Structure 1
Amino acid sequence: MDDPSFAAAARIRVVLVGTQHPGNIGSAARALKTMGLSRLSLVAPERYPHADASALAAGADDVLAGASLHDTLAEAVADCRLVLGCTARSRRIALPEQGPREAAATLLAEASAGAEVALVFGRERTGLENDELQLCHGAVHIQANPGYSSLNLAAAVQVLAYELRMAWLAGAGPAAVAPDDAEHEHERDQPATHAQMEGLFGQLAETLDAIDFHKGRAPESAMRKLRRLFLRSRLDQREVRLLRGILADAQRMARLAGFQ
């Protein structure tokens, strides 16, 4: 990913959530730089800045110095159009799952088309929490030895960074946007950002409450399924505006009917 004329790599960020060992932050920065990546975002690390992070960066000090700090994952990926979470399989949060190679090609294709994308890694001991997984469009699962699947955080970052570089060298990036698509990209509505989708989900939850959709049942299960449905649909910005307009009218009618 060293071609300065191609900006896809600059649109790919790696997000570390709740990192417990500062050395892993430095090692992750090193893993990214060795594969030509530079975007690192840190969400609520337990200890950072820290000397161990600087020591284990081992020459990737520029990646470490450029890392952005955030309080929440939602804040870190607010402008992203694709978010993939690297995680063990979850039975509670059903996400479309890809292996590292397929995920790398998907991320690079989206970045090549002009989208900001994120690859998210969770805590060393517990990984990503359920509410964080719900912010992801899909999951990435590394097929480790089932008898000993404990993969170090920085090692997992290295695996995905390597696959991203291999996808680039194989030409997945330049092939992602066909010439005709590139010429007419400005004519199409851009995919909705993560922040726009979260705004839709917030208004959807309020509307379902306003029309008494849940009938006394806990709303969490329905909202999880609806989030999955809309994230899988990959809505564009015009579609989000349309849906929010419909929800606004539904809320207005609920008020007129005396539900609120």
Structure 2
Amino acid sequence: MSVAAHIRFVLVGTQHPGNIGAAARAMKTMGLGRLVLVAPEKPLDEFALRRSAGAEDLLDAAPVVATLAEAVADCRLVLGCTARARRVQLEELLPELAAQRAVAKAAEPAEVAFVFGRERTGLTNEELQLCHLAVHIPSNPEFSSLNLAAAVQVLAYEVRMATLEGQAQPQRDPEHGEEPASHSQLEGLFGQFGETLEQIDFHKGRAPESAMRKLRRLFMKADLSEQEVRLLRGILADAQRMARLAGAGGN
């Protein structure tokens, strides 16, 4: 299977079907064929087909899912394309470096997703929290609005160049014997962390969002394996059990 077969472009909450068709065309011109749609506002129509200009097969094959979490559940690297700084603190890459990281990860092989938000408002903070890295196209700050399909074309081109230049090198030793944790496995870990911190009264009345954002960044950087996630979840399960026993003893 080719490197490109492990890379998907995910469009979230797209408002205009024509933009989906144009994005499909931009992808196909660069040898990319995996398009995923998350809760588009309108179904694909004749306008989308016309704008795809020969990339109808990408539209026909594109799954439609309800949430971004579902779209990237099996991914090892998720890159969120964003036009401006957000409260969610992610390492921010220019398109060239983002594409090189994506192609290198896809060559392991591992599943990779580029995520694009709504035409008017982009990705929400909650959606960006599901991403490992942010990608910013350095457009003119005095006229920074970039059409969705144009943004897709920029990233698709950079992925194409990174693939052709052979810059992909496996990051995990195949003899290591440990499978990398999937996105959904990491989300399960984060959910259990949040529950555990609540049960041991870690926050002491403070808002939990800040601590969880920092924990997400920490573990996203760690490139955890499935075995490491299971180890951490086992530790958390014991902490939760002790918290329940302590609570029962205090009653």
TM-score above 0.5, yes or no: yes
d(CA) in 1 for partners of 2:153 and 2:83? 17
Using the TM superposition, give the Cα deviation of residue 249 of structure 1 relative to its aligned residue in structure 2, in angstroms.
0.3
Contact 2:82 2:134 in 1 (8 A): yes
Q: TM-score, normalised by structure 1?
A: 0.92
Structure 1: which 4+ aligned runs deviate by more than 6 Å?
Answer: none
Aligned pairs for 1:163-182 within 5 A: 163-173=158-168, 176-177=169-170
Secondary structure of 2:9's aligned partner: strand
Of 171, 175, 178 in structure 2, the residue corresponding to residue 189 of structure 1 is 178
d(CA) in 1 for partners of 2:206 and 2:194? 13
Amino acid at match of 1:123: R
- 2:242 match: 253
d(CA) in 2 for partners of 1:102 and 1:177? 16
Using the TM superposition, give the Cα deviation of residue 257 of structure 1 relative to its aligned residue in structure 2, in angstroms.
0.7
- 1:226 match: 215
Q: Are positions 1:212 and 2:207 aligned together?
A: no
d(CA) in 1 for partners of 2:86 and 2:126? 14
Q: Give the root-mean-square deviation of aligned CA atoms.
A: 1.4
Contact 2:3 2:163 in 1 (8 A): no
- 1:54 match: 49
Q: Are positions 1:25 and 2:28 aligned together?
A: no
Amino acid at match of 1:235: L
- 2:74 match: 79
d(CA) in 2 for partners of 1:168 and 1:91? 30
The percent of aligned pairs where both chains have the same amino acid is 67
Q: 5+ unaligned residues in a row in structure 2: which ranges?
A: none
Encode CA deviations 1:91-127: one digit per residue, 9 max, x unaligned: 4111001100000000000001110000000000000
Using the TM superposition, give the Cα deviation of residue 186 of structure 1 relative to its aligned residue in structure 2, in angstroms.
5.1
Q: TM-score, normalised by structure 2?
A: 0.96
Using the TM superposition, give the Cα deviation of residue 237 of structure 1 relative to its aligned residue in structure 2, in angstroms.
1.0
Of 117, 136, 139 in structure 1, the residue corresponding to residue 134 of structure 2 is 139
Query: How many residues are paired up?
Result: 249
Of 113, 116, 122 in structure 1, the residue corresponding to residue 108 of structure 2 is 113
Q: Which is further off, 97-106 or 210-219?
A: 210-219
